A = this chain, B = another copy of it.
């Protein structure tokens, strides 16, 4: 690869930037305005969820977007703080410091830095496949459980009571034990915000259309609903003097651009946070790539998962350098960006400018924003994450996927996000390895009057007492090598007159070194019992490997092109061999 194509690979902007024109500029600007309006309340709310000052949410929505615009491959992905990652940040930072302390903020920044470095390394070594370890049932279980945890954790802000916690028992116990200290004004603000936001989400657009607005305009106005709620809530607090009645507000937010500073390299802290940072990286990457792929396909575009790792890595490093916390591509905002007509990653850069302007000019106005309204924003957003249908689907479709799903939900709720993800991944892998270690195989016999061989348990077929034919429906690997030895030897013990074993290898796509050694062991063990091992219908590449390995010289039997040729020759041999005569009851059947 020459230098310019390497550059083009790592900097997708060189591709789309060259063809950038006025039409694209217009579309991108329009989308940026809408996404900015949507992002301001969301960023504040998710920072609150992460246990951080609200302004940190704004900081995490400026430079990271610009970094992704440079390196990302999705035209429409909108990165920034998201609910699940905010919850994971709260859990990880909370394990090393108390919320509200400088150490807590330092931990959140360190998580962004570590996560950025990990994503970038995974991108450089092209290890995007590691994200495959998260199966769909595990991800959806994790997201459902996270949604439940998040919604429960925000209830206290609606009620105006203290609380907190990393898992459902903690959250419920602390909410219930403080429930007597509720604040009526806070509940009024919180509940009216909730009701309004639910209505905006479901009923606003049709209502506006009925009022005579064009669908496009109605849509944009509906999307501005959360910012309307924020403005209305601020007015209510200021003119209703609600702060004096005990309604918690956001308070002073430093205005101005984010601080640009290299994050402190604190190896002690990093060694405590590497595991949660890795989990944040993987969950964030999986979510982001799913969204990006869905949107790219709609326009017949494509994204490169390995380059996405670099883009998200750069975003998180940028977050760490500008006082932010871990970010990733969000589903809702990306869909809005896409629907609003964004055509290139430049839309993300314009959104960054929008948020930067907001953090310079709007922050003083947010002093009186009630926390209950932000909590309502979060609750409305995350209820969409809770998926009650999937367990039923999975139960019907696959019991093992269902188990992994339920285990992930149960452990996330009971023990928190980190143990939840780890449980999900390990349950999924163990079930997979368990299945892979017991592949399907069948003893086969000849369908009368044909050259076909079928499972003796399912079909009326001809077999011979001195020949055992086994079809293996799987590649031979270390996971099933031991199983294969047991399977063949058990079948052997069942047939006292056995003299030939034929393995029908038509479904064996590959044989690894362990599979090869098992074949050798089976060959020797059969030979010790006076039985020959034969192979039939071995695929070309597998045969090449067997030749290279030298096993063919040791084999006490032959390789046959087809199962039928194998049987024909082994029968002939028995006929020619007088000693074999009495082993030979089924001959009349042929």
Contact = CB atoms under 8 A, between A and B. Distances in A.
Nearest to A477: B432
Given A293-B486, A398-B545, 14 more contacts: A129-B434, A129-B483, A135-B477, A135-B478, A136-B513, A136-B517, A137-B514, A293-B521, A294-B521, A302-B490, A305-B486, A401-B513, A432-B477, A507-B509
A549 B493 contact: no
A132 B481 contact: yes
Contacts of A393: 513, 549-550
26 contacts: A129-B482, A129-B483, A132-B479, A132-B483, A134-B478, A135-B477, A135-B478, A135-B481, A135-B514, A136-B517, A289-B482, A294-B525, A297-B489, A297-B526, A297-B528, A298-B525, A305-B482, A396-B548, A396-B549, A397-B516, A401-B513, A401-B514, A432-B477, A432-B479, A440-B509, A507-B509
A513 B137 contact: yes
Interface in A392-449: 393-394, 396-398, 400-401, 428, 432-434, 437-438, 440
Interface in A282-338: 289, 293-294, 296-302, 305
Size range of the chain A interface in the assembly? 35 or more
A492 interface: yes
Nearest to A428: B478
Interface string A487-529: 0011011000000000000010100111011100100011011
A302 B401 contact: no
Given A440-B509, A473-B509, A397 B298 contact: no
A398 B136 contact: no
Nearest to A134: B478
Given A397-B516, A482-B305, A529 B135 contact: no
A300 B549 CA distance: 27
Interface string A358-387: 000000000000000000000000000000
Contacts of A289: 482
Nearest to A439: B509
A276 to B, nearest CB: 20
A133 B433 CA distance: 8
A397 B132 contact: no
Nearest to A135: B478
Among A135, A137, A294, the one with the most B-chain Cβ atoms within 10 Å of its Cβ is A135
Contact of A433 (B132, B480, B521, B528): B132
A482 B306 CA distance: 13
A129 B431 CA distance: 11
How many copies of this chain sit in the oligomeric assembly?
2
B137 A398 contact: no
Contacts of A481: 132, 135-136
Contacts of A394: 513
A492 B301 CA distance: 10
Given A397-B548, A509-B473, A136 B298 contact: no
A170 interface: no
Contacts of A437: 129, 132
A306 to B, nearest CB: 11
A485 interface: yes
A224 interface: no
Given A298-B528, A300-B493, A529-B298, A397 B549 contact: yes
A131 interface: yes
A305 B481 CA distance: 14
Given A302-B493, A512-B401, A549-B397, A525 B432 contact: no
Contacts of A485: 293
Nearest to A526: B297
Interface in A220-254: none
Nearest to A514: B136
Interface in A515-565: 516-518, 521, 525-526, 528-529, 545, 548-550
Contacts of A299: 529
Interface string A73-103: 0000000000000000000000000000000
Contacts of A514: 135-137, 401
A553 to B, nearest CB: 13
A474 B526 CA distance: 31
Interface string A459-490: 00000000000000110011111110110011
Contact of A301 (B133, B298, B477, B493): B493
A300 B517 contact: no
B525 A297 contact: yes
A529 B433 CA distance: 37
Contacts of A397: 513, 516, 545, 548-549
A520 to B, nearest CB: 10
Contacts of A517: 136
